[in-house]
Amino acid sequence: MKPEIRNLKAELLLSAGVCSLAWQGDFGKGVSTGSGVWSDPGANPCLLYGPVPTSGVSGNGSVTPQWKLGMVLYGDSAAEFVFCKLALGSTTDLLPGQAYQWDENFNLTLLTTSASVLNAEIGVLNVWSPQTAAGTYYAWVQRAGHAAVQAAASSIATGQAETTATAGQVKFLAAASHTAGTKSTGDVAAFGASSSITFTGTTTSGSPYVTNVVSGNANGGVADLTVGMAFTMTGFTNAIIAGIDKQGGQWRILVGTNTAGSYATNQNATASGSVTGTVTSHVVANLKRPTLSAQN
């Protein structure tokens, strides 16, 4: 398809994260050819495609990739996505905002200091898929635009990213402060420091929902939030956003447990009231086709 063509009827709502608002349809569908048929298949960057069935076994309804590896599609807010392959050797928690590198064949690997390769391209996966079974999958990885990126504590506003020992997590520091042994991820810059994303809401004792949610973003609503964010809030312990939806005219979040293997396990509030939440796992960053650019 021609990359400059996109379906204007299905605008991608981008803010801190691609999936931070209710998904409004797919994009990259090309042009309408009539009767609901489009010139190209639509794509959803919040969806994990697969798994690919074992050789000789029927697909049993599994999604078959419709795009070539390395294909690029474009969204709003200068977002770009690359179609890549993800092979999981065991059951894995996939959380939005995790950073990946890919090789010349577009095979994804979670970014860590020990496994990083200089000059490899870097992107962010926006998929929420706890306890994903071993297998071969495909996904659209964001390489440009605004994104919520998993970041280490002590990340600073306007900092440049470096690799860490934690898979999928980066740290934002001033260039002169980069940690020896890490690799710098050029062109991934933070807009805010750690714990700069806040929101307000209402808790009800015994309920796993925070209602009447309003983020600190100028756009209001849940514009700063995405599933997979860990946060602190009175009434919850070890909390993570496990779901976002809308009830009437108000946004609400479903609270899960921030423990590997239990992210989708709901937890109930122990107190009722109007409270403020502070995100502890992500910062909002700007991606500009980054690569692992330097050894620190």
Q: What is the pLDDT of residues 220-272, one digit of tens each?
A: 678 888 999 999 999 999 999 999 988 888 899 999 999 999 999 999 999 99
Q: What are phi and psi of 89, to 5 degrees?
A: -85, -10
Contact (Cβ atoms closer than 8 angstroms) between residue 161 and residue 172: yes
Cα Dmax for the chain:
58
Q: Put residue 142 in one of left, alpha, beta given phi > 0 → left and psi -120 to 50 → alpha.
A: beta
Q: What are phi and psi of 74, to 5 degrees?
A: -125, 140
Q: What is the pLDDT of residues 115-145, one digit of tens each?
A: 999 999 999 999 999 999 999 999 999 999 9
Placement of tokens 């021609």 in the chain: 2
Segment 202-215 mean pLDDT: 96
Report the predicted TM-score, pTM, of the whole model to 2 decimal places: 0.85
229 versus 67: the higher-pLDDT residue is: 229
Q: How far apart are CA 274 and CA 212, in angstroms?
A: 9
Q: How far apart are CA 111 and CA 100, in angstroms?
A: 5
What's the token pair of residue 20? 């931070």
Contact (Cβ atoms closer than 8 angstroms) between residue 279 and residue 185: no
